[in-house]
Amino acid sequence: MADTRHLISLRDLTDADLDRIVRRGREIAAEDPAVRKEPLRGRVIGVYFSKTSTRTRTSFTAGALRLGARVVTFGPGDLQLNTGETLADTARVLGGMLDGLVIRTAGAPEELRRFAEHCPAVVNAMSADEHPTQALADLTTLWSRLGRLDGLKLLYAGEGNNTAAALALALPRFSAVELEFRTPPGYGLEPAVLAEAQALAARSGSRVSERHDMESLPEGADVVYTTRWQTTGTSKSDPAWQRVFEPFQVNAAVMARCPDALFMHDLPAHRGQEVTAEVLDGPLSIAFEQAQYKLHSATAVLEWCLGQ
Ligand code: CP
């Protein structure tokens, strides 16, 4: 398995790797699946989701099948981890049987790194602090839609969650990007992630900033992006948390302040909370196209991780 690679964090990717996966995702989107080769024929991919998922689990499963692999899936209640078997023992056993393992966990990336000690080609399909394959799908969507990532202006409104962290670690690698986070007070990006994103931006002539209000929105945004307020697998200790989030709802008034912007959402959505139905289902929304791109991007990730 010398030619396999893990994708546990976007930090695992060089700029060239990131560029390659996004380009390949675009190529896959344009391919006719009926004539596609099956480079993973004979391989077996495990898909282990300890948390709910519609898009990510389906995109990696469908992507692996389309590449010719066979797939073994494990849901939240399936593995003996639930009855006290250690993670190390689980990883050792799965690693001896599988060629790749796609994992969603409520835990930290360290949990995935422990799987990676024994398993070839571990993919982070969302952990507590990063959702790297979401950012890859988002960048693939944006590049396909706008024909560029350089010079992109993206306004993110909502919680500084794992999707926000992934965008922060990916988009500023492209040049002259302006990435502005508007996060509720107390629910911002991890300071270390913001600092890392700003360091990436400084290297590429981009800019990353964060504020905790919705005043003076940046001019000329190409994209307004939000995510659900209750990130999958998490809850908030403050019973009044919604009051803090309400000013960050993306509605027609916010979109009117960004007149040239498309709207993106990683889904699932709660219409009436982080976004109104008018915006999510409106003509500027590319949220469902973005969901479709998760398949193309997951396929590109599997090719990259499995050494194709
Ligand atoms: N965006 C996303 O990760 O969706 P799922 O939770 O449905 O996989």
CA-59 nearest atom, ligand 1: 8
pTM of the predicted model, to two decimals?
Answer: 0.96
Q: What is the CATH number of domain 132-291?
A: 3.40.50.1370
What residues does each domain of the chain span?
Answer: 10-130+295-305, 132-291
Mean pLDDT over all residues of the chain?
96
Ligand 1 contact, 232 CB (< 6 A): yes
DSSP-assigned letter for residue 285: B
Mutation test residue for ligand 1: of 55, 73, 140, the one with most atoms within 8 Å of CB = 55
pLDDT of residue 179: 98
Do domains 10-130+295-305 and 132-291 share one topology? The answer is yes
For the segment(s) 10-130+295-305, the CATH number from 3.40.50.1370, 3.30.70.660, 3.90.180.10, 3.30.413.10 is: 3.40.50.1370
Other CB atoms within a 10 A radius of the CB of residue 120 amount to 20
- Whose C-alpha lies nearest to ligand 1, atom 3? 56
First to last CA, the chain: 12
Ligand 1 contact, 267 CB (< 6 A): yes
pLDDT of residue 34: 80
pLDDT of residue 231: 78
186 backbone φψ class: left, alpha, beta (φ>0; ψ -120 to 50): left
Ligand 1 contact, 292 CB (< 6 A): no
Query: Phi and psi dihedrals of 237, rounded to 5?
Result: -75, -30
Could you give the 3-state DSSP secondary structure of residue 221? coil
Ligand 1 center from residue 161 Cα (angstroms): 13
Ligand 1 contact, 140 CB (< 6 A): no
Q: Is the dihedral of CA 9, 175, 266, 144 positive or negative?
A: negative
pLDDT of residue 36: 81
CB 306 within 8 A of CB 121: yes
Q: Which residues contact 83 (CB under 8 A, 6 or more apart)?
A: none
In 3D space, the residue among 208, 218, 156 whose CA is nearest the CA of residue 181 turns out to be 156
DSSP E strand stretches across the chain = 44-49, 70-74, 100-104, 122-124, 153-157, 178-182, 207-211, 223-226, 262-265
**Digitized pLDDT (tens) for each residue of the chain, 308 residues in all:** 448 999 999 999 999 999 999 999 999 999 987 888 899 999 999 999 999 999 999 999 999 999 999 999 999 999 999 999 999 999 999 999 999 999 999 888 889 999 999 999 999 999 999 999 999 999 999 999 999 999 999 999 999 999 999 999 999 999 999 999 999 999 999 999 999 999 999 999 999 999 999 999 999 999 999 999 987 777 888 999 999 999 999 999 999 999 999 999 999 999 999 999 999 999 999 999 999 999 999 999 999 999 87
CA-57 nearest atom, ligand 1: 8
